[in-house]
Structure 1
Amino acid sequence: MVQAVHRAMHVLRELATATPRLGVTELADRIGVAKPTVHALLRTLEAEGMVVQDRETGKYQLGPGLVVLGNAYLDSHELRTRAVTWADLLATQTGAAVWVGVFTDRHILVVHHAFRPGGSVQVLETGASLPWNTCALGKAIAAFLPSERRAELLAGELLRVTGASIDDPARLVAQLDRVRETGYALDDQELTLGDAGIAAPVFDRSGEVVGGLGLVGPVERLLADSARQECAIAVREVARSLSRDLGAPRDAGLRASS
């Protein structure tokens, strides 16, 4: 590991969680290095557009260069690229918003967000990072990960975002087993009060799970008895179509379950 790169990444992560900005002294205390070292890192990152300095306070925040890199990542991500058409189709079919996500460490990164049809105001969630155990996307993907990786996730920290979030490993194991049987996962106000999610896994040409696709919307709409099964079937079928578009074998889900 290159120490300077590691420290620079640590600086960026601290700025990503800071509200609203951090100074040299604060960053030095947070990452445990000398102020001159932090100052040198910040000057280099600023020259590359990765951070910007507030001229009034002297404090730093993330810079526009990260947006360029983030957009490049999204534009080159095969799952996202191929998911755009399928996500739009699912949103039209169900009248709900659609998220496409991938695992990053213990979180789900939303790489695409198809708005629900209609003219109502909506907030773009592309780039959002969600604790895996609090959302249908996370459970849909985790259910089909190798057993060692699932065990590692369940043994680690399980975050609570709402009062309905599940942080009991035994309950999550039961849910993941159910996902492997049905091919889709649910969350009931576990990420956002009033909202629910229905998601299914997406597989690539190797037959491994590479992400998930799912609906997000008001709990009374998605999980109502009259709509839940219809929405779940739609999600599962579109996820299978997306998987085939990625070259997944037809027995990908079954292969992952064995």
Structure 2
Amino acid sequence: MIQAIDRAAKVLELLQGARHLGITDLALALDLPPSTVHGIVKSLREHGLVAKERGGQRYMLGPTLLRLSNVYLDTLDVRARAMRWTQDLARRTGLSVRLGAPHFADVLVIHHSLRPDDSQQMLETGVAIPAHASAMGKVLLAYDVGFQQTVFERPLRSLTGDTITDVARLTLEFPAITERGSASETDEAVLGESSVAAPVADARGDIVAALAVVLPTSQAPASDDVLGALRETARNISRELGAAVWPPRVAPAED
């Protein structure tokens, strides 16, 4: 690992979530001299990866990250293939639809179709949800043993009183998930919000993403019509990616 790149990446991680931190704060978090951190931040600023508060002494993530994130999203074949299908699923169900891919121990929302109504909503593309606390994450975990190892190597944190943090209890759900091709969660990430998800496979038969519909907990569990539409959409996206079978096979851990 290259030390300079590792330290710069840690600075960016500390500033995520709209955090604004000063050099002293960053130095304490990284256990580095302030002069070293100042040099790292100065280099990141020159590339637009970090920005300084106007009239202040604290730093935040910079605009170059937005451009890079859009480039990253545009390179994802699964997102490009799924967009029209997710919009149709949102229309059919009247619910918000998320498409997520594994990202370290989280699920990164790589596409989000809003509910087809006039309510005020926030676009969630780019949001990271802990895998163990989401239906998308449970699907990815059930079908990908390597992802399980990544997620379970650290203690699972609780987001609500209903978050499952016991690995053994969570693992017990996986055989049923792969058998029926879907997973669900109720109030495990956000109180009042539930979701159900299905796997998306590629031409090799591997899971590459999870598709979810999000509904108020007051409307949970999802109806058979919603589940049917979700599974059909996940299958259609998989076919566009070249999958010959659906649901996908369970991928073993890489050596």
Q: TM-score, normalised by structure 2?
A: 0.93
Which residue of the partner structure matches residue 13 of structure 1? 13
C-alpha distance in 1, partners of 2:127/2:207? 20
- For residues 49 and 245 of structure 1, do their structure 2 counterparts lie closer, same or farther at Cα, with a shift above 3 Å needed? same
Which residue of the partner structure matches residue 95 of structure 1? 94
Which residue of the partner structure matches residue 82 of structure 1? 81
2:140–2:147 contact (8 Å) kept in structure 1: no
Which residue of the partner structure matches residue 159 of structure 2? 161
Which residue of the partner structure matches residue 51 of structure 1? 50
Letter in 1 for 2:13: R
Which 5+ residue runs of structure 1 have no aligned equivalent?
none
Q: 1:256 aligns to what SS in structure 2?
A: coil
Shift of 1:151: 4.8
C-alpha distance in 1, partners of 2:157/2:226? 27
May I ask how many residue pairs the two structures share in their alignment? 252
Which residue of the partner structure matches residue 202 of structure 2? 204
Question: 1:194-233 maps to which residues of 2 (within 5 A)?
Answer: 194-223=192-221, 227-233=222-228
Which 5+ residue runs of structure 2 have no aligned equivalent?
none
Q: 1:143 aligns to what SS in structure 2?
A: helix
Q: 2:43 aligns to what SS in structure 1?
A: helix
CA-based RMSD of the aligned residues comes to: 1.8
Question: 1:1-258 maps to which residues of 2 (within 5 A)?
Answer: 1-17=1-17, 19=19, 21-146=20-145, 148-151=146-149, 153-154=151-152, 156-223=154-221, 227-250=222-245, 253=248, 255-256=249-250
Structure number with the higher helix fraction is: 1
C-alpha distance in 2, partners of 1:18/1:125? 15
- For residues 191 and 63 of structure 1, do their structure 2 counterparts lie closer, same or farther at Cα, with a shift above 3 Å needed? same
C-alpha distance in 2, partners of 1:234/1:173? 26
Letter in 1 for 2:195: G
Letter in 2 for 1:246: L
Letter in 2 for 1:108: V
2:235–2:246 contact (8 Å) kept in structure 1: no
Residue identity (%): 37
Q: TM-score, normalised by structure 1?
A: 0.92
Shift of 1:188: 0.8
Shift of 1:104: 0.6
- For residues 86 and 161 of structure 1, do their structure 2 counterparts lie closer, same or farther at Cα, with a shift above 3 Å needed? same
Deviation string, structure 1 residues 16-38 (Cα, Å, up to 9, x no partner): 1574x111122112112222221
Letter in 2 for 1:58: Q
C-alpha distance in 1, partners of 2:6/2:251? 37
C-alpha distance in 1, partners of 2:187/2:25? 36
1:200–1:236 contact (8 Å) kept in structure 2: yes
